[in-house]
Structure 1
């Protein structure tokens, strides 16, 4: 059974995640969070501490889910028989895109940071972003027949940037209308493009699966 304190803290984290993802850390106040949750500021502080501590808890929570997904995908790639390495690597792309689509707050939180939000809260990138990106980079180098001239580091980072951007803002069509992850056709087209990008940028053999 979940205690009242635990359930209130979880509710605060969920609401704070949405506000930090939508408005950024700098654009969100503890009072806004308290009003959205329906509690007073003192109760928010009791459960999560300061705004900075709440932000750190939100980022840790978001990245725990991200790490669990990515580590499982990497384990699958490492364990796959040689003839299945390539399609398993491509499935990793789909899993990452799916995660961003299902949890748009994740790319939103990081995009705010990369636009200089919460600049006084340091150390999150080397704690959360770099180790997982490096895990994927190292695994691709070790398991796939990559062109020796390919830049795996920049390819993986390009896939990350593109996935975040597509989920958050979509792409424009010829009429100037924006189509994003909620448009099934646009999502299929984006997936196909990411698969081709990985395949061609790394000089992988054959055609993308």
Structure 2
């Protein structure tokens, strides 16, 4: 017999998957209930409104992302060399996004104007994540904020859509050769962003 905690976890898992696949605006609570095997009243009982459910999904994504980035920033500090440390940090973030594809999907949908009426996730979750990384690169004489967003959008885009080859075929996270090629490109990009003359 399912416990209330089990039911809540089923709702959150279903909502995370559906919000990542279809976005907040493209997902109904009825669909979340169906995907979790629960009725709409049970969904509301465990998580409240659709907006409250979305906030919890984003909070959980943030918690996992913050843990991964905190570890990676610690490695950055230990690296000594700024560029080598940044490449390590970016590589760790790519690994995290590849292992947790729903998280870049949630953010990409969000940044493409999904869930516009739920205004808190950027202030509560995106900026603390960005701030952690920006603080590690403070006083470096570059527009590190723009570099951060450039790399973040690139990683999220790759994790969601991969790359399209000239023959029109899409290659992405499921193709190790493409991942390796993209990882090498990221190393080149990060090096250029941090060493070019401003």
Instruction: Bin the TM-score by the shorter chain.
Output: over 0.9
Residue 155 (structure 1) aligned with residue 147 (structure 2): yes
Q: Per-residue deviation at 1:85?
A: 5.3
Distance 2:79 2:89 in 1: 15
Residue 100 (structure 1) aligned with residue 92 (structure 2): no
Q: Per-residue deviation at 1:154?
A: 1.0
For structure 2, the 5+ residue unaligned runs are none
- TM-score, with structure 1 as normaliser: 0.88
Structure 2 equivalent of residue 74 of structure 1: 73
- TM-score, with structure 2 as normaliser: 0.92
Q: Per-residue deviation at 1:81?
A: 5.7
Structure 2 equivalent of residue 12 of structure 1: 11
1:90·1:195 contact (CA, 8 Å) conserved in 2? yes
Runs of 4+ in 1 over 4 A off after TM superposition: none
2:72·2:89 contact (CA, 8 Å) conserved in 1? yes
Aligned-partner SS, 2:167: coil
1:171·1:178 contact (CA, 8 Å) conserved in 2? yes
Structure 2 equivalent of residue 54 of structure 1: 53
Q: Per-residue deviation at 1:124?
A: 1.1
1:170·1:181 contact (CA, 8 Å) conserved in 2? yes
Structure 1 equivalent of residue 33 of structure 2: 34
- When residues 175 and 81 of structure 1 are mapped into structure 2, their CA distance, relative to the original with a 3 A threshold, is closer
Give the aligned CA root-mean-square deviation in angstroms: 1.6
- When residues 81 and 167 of structure 1 are mapped into structure 2, their CA distance, relative to the original with a 3 A threshold, is closer
Structure 1 equivalent of residue 116 of structure 2: 119
1:155·1:201 contact (CA, 8 Å) conserved in 2? yes
Distance 1:113 1:89 in 2: 26
2:33·2:40 contact (CA, 8 Å) conserved in 1? yes
2:33·2:39 contact (CA, 8 Å) conserved in 1? yes
Distance 1:16 1:4 in 2: 18
2:83·2:191 contact (CA, 8 Å) conserved in 1? no
Distance 2:149 2:70 in 1: 17
The correspondence for 1:140, drawn from 137, 140, 148, is 137
1:151·1:202 contact (CA, 8 Å) conserved in 2? no
Q: How many pairs were matched up?
A: 195
